[in-house]
Amino acid sequence: MMMLLLPHREEEEEGGAAGRRRFPINDNADLLAEVLGRLDGRSLAVAGCVCRLWSAVGRREAVWEAVCHRHVAVGRAGAAGGTRSVVAALGGYRRLYRLCIGPALDRLAGVRRQGPAVSSAARHVSLSLALSLFSIDCYERLGGVGGRQQQPPASLLFLCKPVDVS
Amino acid sequence: MKREHQEAAGGGDRRGGEGNWYVAAEQEKGKALMGTDDGVDELLAALGYKVRSSDMADVAQKLEQLEMAMGSSAAANDDALLAHLAFDTVHYNPSDLSNWVDNILSELNAPPPLPQPPPPPPPDDPLSLQFDLPPAVTEQYTIGTVDLPDGSPCKPADVDELQPEASTASSGWLISQSGHQPEVAMSLRDRKRLKVCSSPPSSTITADAATAAAAQQVVIVDSQEAGIRLVHALMACAEAVQKENLKAAGAIVKQISVLAASQGGAMRKVAGYFAEALARRIYRPQPPRGMGCSSTVESAALDDMLHHHFYESCPYLKFAHFTANQAILEAFAGFRRVHVVDFGMRQGLQWPALLQALALRQGGPPSFRLTGIGPPQPDNSDALQEVGWKLAQLAKTIRVDFRYRGFVAASLADLDPYMLLGPEADGGGVEDDEPEVVAVNSILELHRLLARPGALEKVLGTIRAVRPVIVTVVEQEANHNGRAFLDRFTEALHYYSTMFDSLEGGASPPAAVEVGGHDQAMAEIYLGRQIYNVVACEGAERTERHETLPQWRARMSRAGFDSVPIGSNAFKQASMLLALFSGGEGYRVEENDGCLTLGWHTRPLIATSAWRAAGDPLSTSASCRTASS
């Protein structure tokens, strides 16, 4: 059972149990969501393998939204609510991270390892760029009129790593 | 005997310092090559040079002959050549001096059939095959036509000296010369460096090294020599074609295919496409329809498919879309009804990103209308309508009011303004409240119009009549529309070599090969069709009439358009996009007087520019609004 240990304050004790108060985080899903929302994408995906509760909380859009916003440079403080609905319509933040932001961050990390030649402007993934790529991918996944056999969407392949762990 | 031995040894000592790094680089290979040490002169062996004592006299005598032969022939013809030989030769680790000297002597006495010009300057990256064709080749080509009897494989040229770090390249060269090391000859001159030709691709090098090290065979420097001969042969063939000397051209074309087979990677593919195009031009002056020579109905669907793969495999089209979208987005700021006319609809991959950006813009999305223009399709399938339907679906999910119209037109010149403006009945009475602003988008479409005189002017007039607030034009950054065939050929060779290099450099990771690998091959076919069109077609069929940015600027100004600078947002987004491409280090986004270009290393390959009609009150006020917001 996961516990959060709070610092113990003697003066607040009213008798009762001496020692530290224990706070099982699994009792409070919202708190868990807050915590998980501060992870990076890979850690969050791993956290989703811990138990069912964590898996469920880890799939919440709000959690992934927090993760996405933490990792991208948001250009203008535009209509946040509008962004939410558009992203939801295109497939959700979790998908956005998995398809666009995650691979992009991995690619940039690889580039940084290779050398400092990349200009500073290019080191961040901007939200607008990620959303553009996401929208193109979503578009490619739409079926044709007659439900014709479509090729698997390939516009994001240039970002793809060989193994998709999520 | 002893004196000669001492001379040779002394010569060796003089360059002991320089020889050392060769020893280090060559140690393992040297051991393989050296075999048994019996009879090898010890002093020279200590330096890493293998010379049999018994051969010394013979070798020394041959070297004297060599010096006389080289000295006389060089001086007779070209002082510059002599100067290069005198000052610019590097020495290599010799293992079999006698054979090498024999080889050189025989080459000097029997010149090769083709005059070989000095090779062009090398690329910075030894693995890429960029070369600066237009100035270098023409100038060196003149030297080549002076009939030089000196056919030494180590043709001096303006090439960088081999660095020790490039030891794979250099050692590969060395190994490939395993039977023929020129070392001792250089002892007769101080500090000579042999300027080497541009390094062959690494695959050839490793192959050479492997075979040579294993079998002690002479895998001749032919791979490098072949590269030079290949370029020279291509140019010679083109010149012969220009002079209508089709017999000579035909002979050279056959050589080209042989030479091309010995190369690897990008150079082989490029040479293959150019050779095929030349062959068609030579043997069939009026080539039959097909192979992209004219955009027939049958090839339209194929074109689209290849275009799609080209889109996936390299960033040029993505760059075009993103920068054009950014310019359009900025021009549309503040308007509630917008209309985009796309001259090359294809799969409509540009528009989802614009729809998404409009959905998220401040103030909410506008009412968006899209007019897509495309060529007639073979099987009566309405590709344009399908694309429109998909876009409509997407727009519906992100809640952007979307209307679509597709136009089939064999040529853009067939369009009239009233078609683009649309029937007034559309939208009803809303028309009067909100002005509809129009953006015209042309990605790699305008150059086709240059094939028919007057077509471009008509289309630009049509565009003006529509009164767009912005016109985005993306074109290849190259001049493939020169009057002389040879100029076009040279430009095209340079351009497409760079393109193919970038495809190799930015290749997708090997694991993503199922679709990724096909992408690159398809992209190469796509480019190959363009090559074919530039080289083999003429007149109205030659539609790939690329022109450079300054040329387009002049055309647009003449037609009454003013340049709209593409903002820094587009630049940043393009840079970010390129950072995501593997091999992104080679791509360069540059700003050129308000226009953005994307290129590979130093060579811009595609350029985006934005325009508006000069003096138009609506568009002027719109751009002022954009500038102030």
Q: pLDDT digits over B308-317, tens only?
A: 889 988 889 9
- The mean pLDDT value for B213-217 works out to 40
- The mean pLDDT value for B31-37 works out to 43
Predicted local distance difference test score (pLDDT) of residue A141: 86
Among the listed residues B76, B78, B56, the one whose alpha carbon sits nearest the alpha carbon of residue B68: B76
Looking at the predicted structure, is the pLDDT value of residue B424 above 50? no
| Interface test mutation site (partner A, options B390, B576, B577, B585, max chain A beta carbons within 10 A) | B576
Among the listed residues B332, B346, B339, B393, the one whose alpha carbon sits nearest the alpha carbon of residue B371: B339
Of A142, A151, A158, the CB nearest to B393: A142
Give dist(CA B248, CA B243) in Å, integer.
10
Q: B304: distance to nearest CA of chain A, Å? A: 14
Looking at the predicted structure, is the pLDDT value of residue B522 above 80? yes
Predicted local distance difference test score (pLDDT) of residue B577: 87
Phi/psi at B441 (5° precision): -125, 125
Size of chain A, expressed as the number of residues it contains = 166
Give dist(CA A118, CA B572) in Å, integer.
12
* B226-264 confidence digits (pLDDT tens): 778 888 889 999 999 888 888 888 888 888 888 888 877
Q: Which residue has the higher pLDDT, B525 or B9?
A: B525
When the pLDDT of each residue in chain B is averaged and rounded to a whole number, the result is: 71
Q: Which residue has the higher pLDDT, B281 or B38?
A: B281
* B37-89 confidence digits (pLDDT tens): 455 666 666 666 666 667 777 777 877 877 777 665 544 444 444 445 555 55
Cross-strand partners of B439: B340, B470
- The mean pLDDT value for A37-52 works out to 89
Predicted local distance difference test score (pLDDT) of residue B423: 56
Give dist(CA B94, CA B443) in Å, integer.
56
If one counts every other C-beta atom within 10 angstroms of the C-beta of residue B568, the result is: 11
* A120-132 confidence digits (pLDDT tens): 544 567 888 889 9
Q: From chain B, pick out residues whose CB is under 8 angstroms from the CB of A112.
A: none
| Strand, coil or helix: B343 | coil
Q: A69: distance to nearest CA of chain B, Å? A: 16
Among the listed residues B154, B153, B184, the one whose alpha carbon sits nearest the alpha carbon of residue B58: B184
Looking at the predicted structure, is the pLDDT value of residue B113 above 60? no
Task: Tell me whether residues A160 and B577 touch, CB distance under 8 A.
Answer: no
Give dist(CA B576, CA B605) in Å, integer.
18
| Exposure class string for B64-83: b at 16+ Cβ within 10 A, else e | eebeebbeebbeebbeebbe
Q: Going by DSSP bridges, is the β-strand pair B595-600/B587-592 parallel, antiparallel, or unpaired? A: antiparallel
| Interface test mutation site (partner B, options A100, A114, A123, A128, max chain B beta carbons within 10 A) | A128
- Give the tokens for residue A131: 């959303």
How sure is the predictor about B191, in pLDDT bands with cuts at 50, 70 and 90? very low
- How far is C-alpha B250 from the geometric centre of its chain's CA atoms? 25
Q: Residue A111 gets which letter from DSSP? A: H
Sequence-ordered list of residues with C-beta below 8 angstroms from that of B519, at least 6 positions apart, any chain: A154, A157, B309, B312, B313, B508
Number of continuous H segments (helices) and E segments (strands) in chain A: 8, 2
Predicted local distance difference test score (pLDDT) of residue B303: 84
* B:437-456 residues touching chain A, CB 8 A cutoff: none
| Interface test mutation site (partner B, options A158, A160, A161, max chain B beta carbons within 10 A) | A158
Size of chain B, expressed as the number of residues it contains = 629
Give dist(CA B34, CA B56) in Å, integer.
17
Looking at the predicted structure, is the pLDDT value of residue B169 above 80? no
* A101-150 confidence digits (pLDDT tens): 888 888 877 766 655 554 454 456 788 888 999 999 889 888 654 444 44
Classify the C-alpha dihedral B347-B501-A164-A47 as positive or negative: negative
| Strand, coil or helix: B542 | coil
Class of residue B627 by CB neighbours under 10 A (exposed 0-12, middle 13-18, buried 19+): exposed
SS3 content of chain B, % helix, strand, coil (to 5): 55, 10, 35
Q: From chain A, pick out residues whose CB is under 8 angstroms from the CB of B578.
A: 122
If one counts every other C-beta atom within 10 angstroms of the C-beta of residue B88, the result is: 18
- The mean pLDDT value for B129-152 works out to 36
Tell me the whole-structure pTM to 2 decimals.
0.67
- The mean pLDDT value for B147-169 works out to 37
